Structure 1
């Protein structure tokens, strides 16, 4: 019986670890998406600034 209980404990612990890993992976994907969005926004802002400078150099 003891071995069976230990196996159940290990199985439960493994399930917790897998859930934590999935949560961390999801958080990393969200952070990556946020970074990509910010990079894209920065690129757009730079393009717009360059366009405005080109269209109105006195500004």
Structure 2
């Protein structure tokens, strides 16, 4: 199991790669792209955000 700092780096790198791939996919789509968002917090006030793209 990697150290917590290394694990954070791995997760951040994965997120960057995933975001880059999604942007490339959206740029190649034909027509319009619509976005839906949602914000919420859990019982101990951790905040969350979801973004969904429809294309």
TM-score w.r.t. structure 2 length? 0.50
Runs of at least 5 residues in structure 2 that lack an aligned partner in the other structure: 32-55
1:34 aligns with 2:28: yes
Q: Does 1:9 align with 2:3?
A: yes
**Which is richer in strand?**
2
Aligned length: 31
TM-score calculated relative to the size of structure 1 = 0.47
- Secondary structure of residue in 2 paired with 1:31: helix
Structure with larger Rg: 1
Instruction: State the 4+ residue runs in structure 1 displaced beyond 2 angstroms.
Output: none
RMSD (Å) for aligned C-alpha atoms: 2.0
- Structure number with higher helix proportion: 1
Q: Could you say which residue in structure 1 is the equivalent of 2:17?
A: 23
